[in-house]
Structure 1
Amino acid sequence: MTLSALTYRDAGVDIEAGDALVDRIKPFAKRTMRPEVMGGIGGFGALFQLSGKYREPVLVSGTDGVGTKLKLAFQLNRHYTVGQDLVAMSVNDILVQGAEPLFFLDYFACGRLDVDTAADVVKGIARGCELAGCALIGGETAEMPSMYPDGEYDLAGFAVGAVEKSEIIDGSRIAGGDVVLGLASSGAHSNGYSLIRKIIEVSGVDLSADFHGRPLAEAVLEPTRIYVKPLLALMQAHPGIVKGMAHITGGGLTENIPRILRDELTARIDATSWTLPPLFQWLQQAGNVDMQEMYRVFNCGIGMVVIVSQEDADTAQAALATAGETVFRIGRIDQRGDNEPQTVVG
């Protein structure tokens, strides 16, 4: 018997679909371009000429994914928001060291490429890049039959930014008496979703049910807030005003703030200084989650922490509020007691 000629499509890989996706996403990527980008989407490598505005530029990079929040996107067939999540997780991370995000690359992996779904995801990625002011300079789409269930995919991405060497923010100037500002989150961002999905499962809640004026599904999938432009504007207008920043991601408030504190310091966070948003109230009650576990897993309504001196707190708070952020004074920096944790929330 003569074996019929096999093609890549017979093996489960659709080259034409990949080409169609590239054509679909080019307009989204084009809107994110910066003057430093050399070339466009489709080359083997992405070229970016570092701006001459830096005297001693230091490159800062970050990489992340979206995690099990993707499972809810699959379940609800809503794919636009997770693209912004992907960008936010990396650009917010490099921002905390004072870096301006310059460009972003993504990796989209699936078992069978659905062009409409992938285009929705990349549209969200492009939207995140616009919000962060960085270029979507390239990426990779991998179609791998039998690696993923039908209708599912995985996402990863990374951002590269730059900061003047003399302006790197590393927390070394933080001192006792400094003020801890908290910038409001848009929701759960992209952290704690294994617990969120467990709470949804055990509570039996209907995700289409009304939740404060919109379906609960929308509240759960609300994309991660991107803090880049307001904070870069603050640092440009008031050089040196920011002593430290912490992106409140996995580990919540209690494990992220210590990453920028010297061993002898602790952050005392007053949980009464802001109102726990409705989504977190529901998660705590529906899952009977201890509040200290809430602070360790979720951002609880505070997506970014900014530490400034007491005399600069009014200026920083006013500038960020003018830029559209909701800002709370959530605590202070103190000397750390013996065997005391580096963040105390209560």
Structure 2
Amino acid sequence: MSQKDANKDSLSYRDAGVDIVAGDALIENIKPFAKKTMRPEVMGGIGGFGALFEISKKFKNPVLVSGTDGVGTKLKLAFMLNKHDTVGIDLVAMSVNDILVQGAEPLFFLDYFACGKLDVAVATDVVKGIAAGCELSGCALIGGETAEMPGMYPAGEYDLAGFAVGAVEKEKIISGDTICEGDVVLGMASSGAHSNGYSLIRKIIERTGIDLNSDFHGQPLADVVIAPTRIYVKPLLALMEKLPVKGMAHITGGGLLENIPRILKDDLTAVLDKNAWQMPPLFHWLQAEGNVEANEMYRTFNCGIGMAVVVAQEHAEAAMKQLRDSGETVWNIGRIQKRTEGQPQTVVQ
């Protein structure tokens, strides 16, 4: 060994910016929260190389349904507000609500948390939220990945992604194929902007210079804009057990105008009555302060409707009653009609 080599300090992974001890501490912190989400089908616990899950014998001819998503630039607000305990709910909601619309029961969820330097307290808050979202949707948090990558992210920031896997009986898959003229569109209330349109929301907040701690209809504006995405799994699974549901659309990126057409045949259109539901004050404020055109609002935001549910007209009242009895706010917001040449597949009038 040369004298030059002998004088070199011994380097560790921690010296390079990766703290394995912190990672181990995070795993220990989150184990109790993950344990609360366990289902009988889970084989083993957190910490293995792969997560094992046995499909329940209650399924006769199961089809697996999967979905993946992130939280998007809503995370920027979480960093600004130093509030990290609900973005995990958003993360789970975006995937479980997506697979739900095809009739699937969410079975398990895995997350991916990436940062430049691991803050164990912040990461624990995030994963607590993920576990809470899993409890709300009845799925098991069976694994995930924490990646500490120095230089990849600004100090104090992180990114989130995750995916859910569910199952549905093959003969009960909901595809929208049975939707026809005369069917009713029910709208289930959102809890806010959910996890979409936040680049525009942040731009409007920046333009107005508003204090996020200021009062907004009885609560801090910060709480309104960071409110977690509503999870519709349990009430809609219960509804599907009682009544035939023809189609469901999770209102995410693309808003009402671009998500409902995803379940409609080419010759049909959904005609929605904008006076049939109450658009929350947040959206009125965003529209006014951003001078956002009505069509852009319906194409960007959920505008108060987080899930659209299509049922036959004769089942509409019973479906609304059951959903309301389960604690949901729901309105009859429109009808399915024959589509005329050149007509959009969702019309809000």
Structures share fold, TM-score greater than 0.5: yes
> Who is 2:296 aligned against?
293
1:186 aligns with 2:188: no
1:100 aligns with 2:113: no
1:250 aligns with 2:253: yes
Distance 2:111 2:42 in 1: 16
Distance 2:294 2:83 in 1: 30
SS at match of 2:275: helix
> Who is 1:212 aligned against?
217
Distance 1:234 1:182 in 2: 14
The CA deviation at 1:77 is 0.3
> Who is 2:74 aligned against?
69
SS at match of 1:195: helix
> Who is 1:168 aligned against?
173
For structure 1, the residue ranges without an aligned partner over 5 or more in a row are none
SS at match of 2:29: helix
Distance 1:124 1:213 in 2: 25
Distance 1:268 1:236 in 2: 27
Paired residue type of 2:42: V
> Who is 1:126 aligned against?
131
The CA deviation at 1:275 is 1.6
> Who is 2:309 aligned against?
306
> Who is 2:321 aligned against?
318
The CA deviation at 1:69 is 0.2
Paired residue type of 1:220: V
Distance 2:282 2:232 in 1: 21
The CA deviation at 1:237 is 2.3
Q: Deviations over 1:228-261 (max 9, x none)?
A: 00000011123xx100000000000000000000
Paired residue type of 1:276: M
1:144 aligns with 2:169: no
Paired residue type of 1:248: I
1:111 aligns with 2:116: yes
Pick one of 227, 248, 252 that aligns with 1:222: 227
Q: Deviations over 1:49-72 (max 9, x none)?
A: 000111110000000000000000
SS at match of 2:296: helix
> Who is 2:339 aligned against?
336
1:82 aligns with 2:96: no
Distance 1:84 1:108 in 2: 14
SS at match of 1:304: strand
SS at match of 1:72: helix
SS at match of 1:273: coil
What is the TM-score normalised by the length of structure 2? 0.98
Distance 2:216 2:92 in 1: 27
The CA deviation at 1:212 is 1.2
What is the TM-score normalised by the length of structure 1? 0.99
> Who is 1:39 aligned against?
44
Paired residue type of 2:188: L
SS at match of 1:271: coil
Moved over 4 A (4+): none
Identity of aligned residues (%): 74
CA root-mean-square deviation: 0.5
Distance 2:246 2:143 in 1: 33
SS at match of 2:340: coil
Paired residue type of 1:307: V
1:12-51 maps to which residues of 2 (within 5 A)? 12-51=17-56
SS at match of 1:200: helix
The CA deviation at 1:334 is 0.2
Q: Deviations over 1:135-162 (max 9, x none)?
A: 0000000000000001000000000000
The CA deviation at 1:226 is 0.0
Distance 2:300 2:265 in 1: 23
